[in-house]
Amino acid sequence: MSRTQLAKQALEKSLEVREEYGYDFRSPLCVYELADRAGVKVQFVNDVSMEGVYAALAKPTVLLSSLRPLTRRAFTCGHELGHHFFGHGSTIDELKDDLKNTTFLPDEFLADTFAGFLLLPAQGVKRAFSTRGLAVTTATPEGIYQVASSFGVGYETIIGHLQYSLRYISAPRANILRRSTLPQVRERILGFATQCPLVIADRHHALGTLDAEVGTLVLLPAGATTDSAHIAPFEDTRNGTVFRALRPGLARVSIPGGTWGVIVRVSRKDYAGLARYRHLEETEGD
Q: Which of 155, 180, 205 is the last residue of a domain?
A: 180
| Cross-strand bridge partners of residue 91 | 54
11 and 103 in one domain? Answer: yes
Contacts of 147 (CB under 8 A, 6+ apart): 125, 128, 129, 132, 134, 139, 158
| Residue 86: CATH number of its domain | 1.10.10.2910
Count the domains in the chain. 3
In a domain, 43, yes or no: yes
CA angle 260, 264, 268 (to 5 degrees): 175
150 and 105 in one domain? Answer: no
* Full domain range(s) for residue 154: 123-180
Q: From start to end of the chain, where are the E strands?
A: 41-45, 50-55, 61-65, 91-94, 198-200, 209-213, 217-220, 231-237, 240-245, 249-254, 261-267, 273-274
158 and 60 in one domain? Answer: no
With H, G, I as helix, E, B as strand and everything else as coil, classify residue 154: coil
- Torsions phi, psi for 194 (to 5 deg): -160, 150
Q: Which of 133, 151, 180 is the last residue of a domain?
A: 180
pTM as predicted: 0.95
User: What is the chain's pLDDT, residue by residue, as a tens digit (286 residues)?
Assistant: 899 999 999 999 999 999 999 999 999 999 999 999 999 999 999 987 889 999 999 999 999 999 999 999 999 999 999 999 999 999 998 876 544 556 899 999 999 999 999 999 999 999 999 999 999 999 999 999 999 999 999 999 999 999 999 999 999 999 999 999 999 999 999 999 999 999 999 999 999 999 999 999 999 999 999 999 999 999 999 999 999 999 999 999 999 999 999 999 999 999 999 999 999 987 655 5
Nearest-Å Rg of the Cα atoms of the chain is 18
Q: Which of 140, 163, 180 is the last residue of a domain?
A: 180
In a domain, 246, yes or no: yes
Q: Residue 99 has what pLDDT?
A: 46
| Residue 231: CATH number of its domain | 2.60.40
